[in-house]
Structure 1
Amino acid sequence: MGLPIRDQLKYWGVAAAVFLVVLWFVGDVLVPFLLGGAIAYFLDPVADRLERLGLSRTLATALITVAALLIFVIMALLVIPTLVNQAINLVETAPQLARNFTEFLTARFPSLLEEDSTLRNSITAIGATVQERGGALLNTALASFASLLNIILLFVIVPVVSVYLLVDWDRMIAQIDALLPRDHAPTIRRLAAEIDDTLASFIRGMGTVCLILGTYYAIALMLVGLQFGLVVGFVAGLITFIPYLGALLGGVLAIGLALFQFWGDWLSIGLVAGIFALGQVIEGNVLTPKLVGNSVGLHPVWLLLALSVFGTLFGFVGMLIAVPVAAAIGVVARFAVAQYRASLLYQGTEPGSSFDEDPF
């Protein structure tokens, strides 16, 4: 005979409280292990496909590891230094861009920006603030990242954890399944499968879409000759997981930079705008339907709320677990609604009871 519902809720509530307390106190220590687990989860379908082609799990993991190392070396030698340099230069040139914008408005709309006007002073102050705060923010972010994921954690622990978890992923899942409460195992398996489908669609699907679009934006903008094209493409691709936001912010930033750089060269400005328009067409008609699917189960507002709440409460590690937790809460909430609709509380006690009668 299973435990009463009240006792089960008590035990699961205590387990959840312990998990949150541990996360609060040792969250930073868990970061490399969470990153390693995320990498293993992301690459598990690749390893499964290689196994279906005849490779052993160990050989498949070794092949994936070699490919990942080659990609990382190429990124470290070619892309990352350029990305950092362009980001620093963009922050440093923000005041000059603000002055250029002021001169542009003054030349074409002199009545809007008179000398010592509020709007003129505001634009100048914004440029100075971006330079001052932006540089400090960038340096702080790099320093925090270095302190959070130092060289040993980044280059040793994360790859080692991801490799070990990738090798033992199927065995680990089987052991967890064996520990499930027997009374609730079928329901937990079904909910876990729905959570996995949601995460797979979002993390793997949207991660691939972000990577493809970010690479496309960066290469296309650099081929057009736009300064800071790599940074703009990286930013636009990184936030593509929020519908339209990546293209909107990236497009506004890229077109704004293009207006200063190519003023009068309307062909180049049109090419920059066309790059983002084409990116939206490709994302909406090809990438998202093929890689993500029509129903992900994570509304953008719900996702932003989860990122904000967990990021505020638990810092960087909270942001890492925000998406899985949001997916799990969404699946459990839909399950609870389905249970409620099937209950007597919703349907009433009898078919002819007053609860079933239309009061209107």
Structure 2
Amino acid sequence: MKFNLDERSKKTVYIGGLVAFIAIAIYFFFSNFEVLKVWVNNVFQVLMPFVIGFAIAFLMNPVMMMLEEKVFAKLPFSKKAIRNISAIIAVIFGVVIVGLLIFVIGNQMRDSLDQLLANYDDYLKTFEIFMQDTLNFFHIDQAEMQSILESSEDLLGDLLKNIQTYAPTIFNFGLGFISLIIKVLVGIIAGVYMLMDKERFIAQFRKLNQAIFPSKVSTFFEDFFPVLRRIFYDFIVGKALDSLIIGIICYVGLELLGISYAPFISVIVGVTNMIPVFGPFIGAIPGIFILLLVEPIQALYFAIFVFVLQQFDGNILGPKILGDKLGIPSFWVLFSVTVGGALFGFVGMFIGVPVFAALYYLTKQFVDYRLAHKPTQEDTEI
């Protein structure tokens, strides 16, 4: 028996089937989340070199284009040769910059850690005196506190005695570091190839997009990916510049306040500032812990300073650099950082914001499209 459906009925069946499919997909996703998370992590580890290569090509593309169009354009070489030279130099430039940053920051952190370990006994005595004065001031039972301290010392002693049990972990960390170096090297090579054949990859993507999706959908995706590129590029570059400025301001401020280990602590604050919202507070924790050993009053000054610095960054500096480029309200920034961190740790806290901004843009486009076909519309922006 053959059923003939009119256009309205076909549309209803299509929408109903789509809703059912989405509901089943959501149920499957959450019911198998842990399994999917492990699977995604394994796939990500396999593809890590190419992810690194794509990131390098993505960030170094403006440098390559500048070299190709402004510096090497008049060289008596073919366009392909100029492109290859520009791609190689752009990637080398990026690697050198990152290498110099790692070298400078690594030396500073090593010197600070050496100084901290050399003075550790003196700092520990200072902290013990501070704790003793605090106990006396608040009339806390010293015997009970002494018992807690002795238990902590016993726990630390047991940890040191059984350090050999952590040898496999340390060994695995060493193997993981070697594996990471290999992945980075492969990623650098992949990044060079991606830059050299950029137009070919883009053309292949367009063909695949047009072959899979209907014309309207494929056209939408072609319009969307430049927006996606802008979101990620503006966020990464803007946040890096913002964090660099915050790190410099933190260093100058700590030096003016006479706080110990200003360079070391400022590096931590600057790096963790790449994480939106919670970054400065995460970076403040190691600094407060270190300063509690050095001189507890400095820890208080530092905590107040970081709070003021975070307010300056969140309300003045950050909006000036990033502006409204992400196109999402502050609430959704907080939401994306929290959810991203819960799912994928520190990486999720950082990458969650641009990912959610892209999803937010897609949702807004879909809602606007649907409302355009409704008799009444709300004026509220989403």
Superposition TM-score, scaled by structure 2 size: 0.64
For the pair 1:207 / 2:240, whether they are aligned, the reply is yes
1:1-360 → structure 2 map (5 Å cutoff): 23-55=40-72, 56-75=82-101, 77-83=103-109, 86=112, 100-110=126-136, 111-117=138-144, 121=148, 125=152, 143-144=172-173, 146-147=175-176, 150=179, 152-180=181-209, 181=213, 182-214=215-247, 217=250, 221=254, 226-251=259-284, 253-254=286-287, 257-258=290-291, 260-261=293-294, 277=308, 281=312, 284-286=315-317, 288-296=318-326, 297=328, 299-310=333-344, 322=352, 325-344=355-374, 347=376
Q: 1:143 to 1:127 in 2, by over 3 A?
A: farther
Q: Partner residue of 2:6?
A: none
CA change 1:128–1:52 in 2 (3 A) is farther
Matched residue, 1:353: none
Instruction: Report the alpha carbon displacement of residue 87 of structure 1 after superposing the two structures with TM.
Output: 5.9
- When residues 69 and 310 of structure 1 are mapped into structure 2, their CA distance, relative to the original with a 3 A threshold, is closer
Relative distance call for 1:10 and 1:105 in structure 2 (3 A) is closer
RMSD across aligned positions (CA) = 5.1
Count of matched residue positions in the alignment of Structure 1 and Structure 2: 333
Secondary structure at the aligned position of 1:183 is classed as helix
Over 3 Å counting, the alpha-carbon distance change for 1:188 and 1:98 in structure 2 is farther
**1:263 and 1:48, CA in 2 relative to 1: closer, same or farther beyond 3 A?**
same
Partners of 1:251 and 1:276 within 8 A in 2: no
CA distance in 1, matches of 2:55, 2:70: 24
Identity %: 20
Distance change in 2, residues 1:48/1:239 (3 Å)? same
Which residue pairs with 2:78 in the alignment?
A: none
Unmatched 5+ stretches in structure 2: 1-10, 30-35, 73-81
Partners of 2:118 and 2:245 in 1: CA distance? 29
Contact 2:248 2:266 in 1 (8 A): yes
Q: In the alignment, is the contact (CA less than 8 A) between 1:251 and 1:273 conserved in 2?
A: no
Q: Is the 8 A contact 2:60 2:91 kept in 1?
A: no
Deviation sequence 1:23-58 (CA, Å, 0-9, x none)? 354331111211221122122233333344253433
Residues in 1 aligned to 2:218 and 2:52: alpha-carbon distance in whole angstroms: 28
Do 2:247 and 2:266's aligned partners in 1 also have CA atoms closer than 8 Å?
yes
Please tell me the residue identity of whatever aligns with 1:334. K
Residue-by-residue CA offset, 1:47-86 (whole Å, 9 max, x unaligned)? 3333442534333323323323433443454432543675
Say if 2:91 and 2:191, in contact at 8 Å, map to a contact too: no
| Structure 1: segments with no counterpart, 5+ residues | 349-355
Separation in 2 of the partners of 1:160 and 1:292?
Answer: 31
- Which of structures 1 and 2 has the bigger CA Rg? 2
Q: Please give the alpha-carbon distance, in whole angstroms, between the structure 2 residues aligned to 1:38 and 1:329.
A: 20
The change in CA–CA distance for 1:146 and 1:237 in structure 2 (over 3 A counts) is: farther
